[in-house]
Structure 1
Amino acid sequence: MRISFSPACKQVAQPLVNFPAGGINDPFILRQRKKEKVVVVIGATGTGKSRLAIDLATRLPAEIINSDKMQVYKGLDIATNKVTDEECRSVPHHLLGIVDPNADFNATDFRHLALHACDSIVRRNGLPIIAGGSNSYIKALVSDDFEFRSKYDCCFLWVDVKLRVLHSFVSERVDRMVEAGLVDEVRAMFDPNADYKVGIRRAIGVPEMDRFLRSESDPNVDSQTRARLLKQAIEEIKSNTRDLACRQRKNILSLQTQLGLGLGLDLGLGLGLGPEWSMLHRLDATEVFLRRGAAAAAEAWERLVAEPSTIIVDRFLHEKDDQQDFMAAIATPASISAAAVAATTR
């Protein structure tokens, strides 16, 4: 499958890397790879994973597979922060709002459906882009599923934001969610006998509202007390969202270790021959969140996230086209340059 970006896409030179002990005649190097390609976009809640996935999908024939364990359920669009039809920009999305709210959907279920979605997208000559914050789902698919690993190579993009900046943003986002109707949305599906450990009711924004919603049907609770309970619920939602961001960032670092991703080649895991598909590419979007004004933030996003990701994915997609150049580059042993490392980790 060949997928091309627009001619405006910039190309950059690949860094030199240490060649394996077997040299240019290493059997693994000489073996022809016929795997299809998948892009995986990860990051903590609120960092812009969906935005990046959609940006990439509008620049090439691609479809997005949701890997957020709460967004897979039907309902609670505000609480789970699903992308709107307008935000989707006509990009097809899979595994988004498809599961019954009371169902016990798990990583194994995701693995089966995501593999089916990837196969379907590839048959239509599209590129699957998997995007979401549930790292256990990603691991279940790209590491634990033999069929997926035998069919696909992955390019991993990590949208990261410094936690102190992200914490401020997600707290403000909760306020916007409340203004958009979060309370009414949760109230509409409130069930005093519901289990908050099953289905969509596990989502942040639902258990925290329990005491407030119960108070609404209690004649012994006055309006002032209800207002206090609502305020407490909102603060708890903010706190739990910040905690989630911390856990997700920690889990991403664990996922990097589990998948054997780094700054150099890792030929043992079958993740590909070149640096784009053996690394977890960290894209620091902190400046985007610090900018004030739509134009300034948009410029920072394009410069720091969208354009670098486009270059990385373009190189990843054209591995076979550039393989001869790559083989020539690595025929002479050399270490990854300090500049290459700095460019990847800054």
Structure 2
Amino acid sequence: MRETIIAIVGPTAVGKTELSIEIAKRFNGEVISGDSMQVYKGMDIGTAKISSEEMQGVPHHLLDIKEPDEAYSAADFKVHVQRLVKEISDKGRLPIIVGGSGLYIQAALFDYNFPDIKRDEELTEQLEKQAQEEGIEEIYERLQQVDPKQAEKIHPNNHRRVIRALEIYETSGKPKSEWELEQTVETPYNVIFIGLEMDRTELYEQINHRVDFMLEKGLLDEVKSLYNHGFKDTQAMRAIGYKEFIPYLEGKQTLEEAVEQLKQNSRRYAKRQYTWFRNKLAIDWYAVSPSSRREKFKMIFDKLAGILKMK
């Protein structure tokens, strides 16, 4: 019998965390974080990581499992989720995945078979050196030539993904986009997708307020601490909420410019998240607003009660 999973998705700052707690309390659930950055220790404020008090006694998984200088991938996430879904289900409880990292969630729930291509450290180092000396544009142009479909999905400034995509082609002789075409579109689970969306103007206001709140809570000190511990060039520090402050810490930007950049990047990311989920997965969407949230949540609870009763 297939395990039932609730997956709560949508853009940043839309209310996913609050909904996940209430669903977990009503339906005997445990939460699995579907955020690729919340796995890192010491990265709490900038990732909007849930606090112990906010958990309200609900068990949470995949938080604080990595040091900031350790790598973490969608393939790692898939392995962790498969194990956790079985463990939670075997206890008679309901697994609830919540987050905005679309690729991670899709990879775990649709049983992606990641190409078993070991990293070529020498090639990676060579590409990284070239990117530093000649600019990432040269590497990105090479990727456009050998794998234009994959290049379309990656922002040129995302050095890690650009280099990895080119490395896969150079190592295997097959573009990453072809590997992805071989993936299954079936899920081994009974997944109930719940998507939260919000009017764009309201969502952008929520995002701006969230950034201001993060700064009040000490985001700048959190970034400084990570920077001073030597994590500047890690995968983790390239995350939105952290990378924007590095130019400020190095005297290349004012704090006001860094904060505005963070707000802008967060708004753009929310737009990309929403587009990604809309295009990739069959999701029941609920339009929420600060004033209608409780009403929409009740609709979701009622619908889940009917679905889960039939299982």
TM-score (norm 1): 0.66
Cα distance in 1 for partners of 2:86, 2:40 equals: 22
Q: Is the 8 A contact 2:110 2:187 kept in 1?
A: no
Q: Deviations over 1:42-83 (max 9, x none)?
A: 010000111111110011211000010111211120011001
Q: Secondary structure at the match of 2:269?
A: helix
Cα distance in 2 for partners of 1:160, 1:213 equals: 35
Residues 1:165 and 1:150: Cα distance change in structure 2 (over 3 Å): closer
Q: Give the AA of the match of 2:10.
A: G
Cα distance in 2 for partners of 1:109, 1:56 equals: 26
- Work out the number of aligned pairs and report it: 241
Find the counterpart in structure 2 of residue 141 from structure 1.
Answer: 108
- Following superposition of structure 1 onto structure 2, how do residues 320-331 of structure 1 map, counting pairs within 5 Å? 320=311
- Following superposition of structure 1 onto structure 2, how do residues 128-277 of structure 1 map, counting pairs within 5 Å? 128-145=95-112, 151-191=188-228, 194=231, 196=233, 198-215=234-251, 229-256=254-281, 261=282
RMSD: 2.1
Indicate yes or no: 2:295 matched with 1:303: yes
1:301 offset after TM fit, Å?
2.0
Q: Give the AA of the match of 2:67.
A: D
Q: Is the 8 A contact 1:158 1:281 kept in 2?
A: yes
Residues 1:252 and 1:148: Cα distance change in structure 2 (over 3 Å): closer
Cα distance in 2 for partners of 1:89, 1:193 equals: 34
Cα distance in 2 for partners of 1:143, 1:195 equals: 34
Q: Is the 8 A contact 2:69 2:231 kept in 1?
A: no
Cα distance in 1 for partners of 2:17, 2:266 equals: 17
1:150 offset after TM fit, Å?
6.6
Q: Is the 8 A contact 1:170 1:238 kept in 2?
A: yes
> Which structure would you say has the larger Rg?
1
Identical aligned pairs, as a percentage? Answer: 32
Residues 1:169 and 1:119: Cα distance change in structure 2 (over 3 Å): same
Residue 283 of structure 1: which of 279, 283, 286 is its match?
286
Cα distance in 1 for partners of 2:269, 2:211 equals: 13
Q: Deviations over 1:71-122 (max 9, x none)?
A: 1211120011001111111100000121121111010000000110111101
Q: Is the 8 A contact 1:170 1:241 kept in 2?
A: yes
1:155 offset after TM fit, Å?
0.2
Q: Give the AA of the match of 2:262.
A: I
Residues 1:150 and 1:144: Cα distance change in structure 2 (over 3 Å): closer
Could you tell me which runs of 5 or more consecutive residues in structure 1 were left unpaired when the two chains were aligned.
1-33, 216-225, 262-279, 292-299, 321-346
Cα distance in 2 for partners of 1:150, 1:167 equals: 33
Q: Give the AA of the match of 2:40.
A: Y
Q: Give the AA of the match of 1:284.
A: A
Residue 303 of structure 2: which of 312, 321, 324 is its match?
312
1:206 offset after TM fit, Å?
1.4
Residues 1:148 and 1:141: Cα distance change in structure 2 (over 3 Å): farther
1:316 offset after TM fit, Å?
2.2
Q: Deviations over 1:141-179 (max 9, x none)?
A: 122348996752000000111111111110111111111
Cα distance in 2 for partners of 1:192, 1:40 equals: 35
Residues 1:238 and 1:158: Cα distance change in structure 2 (over 3 Å): same
Higher helix share: 2
Q: Is the 8 A contact 1:53 1:131 kept in 2?
A: yes
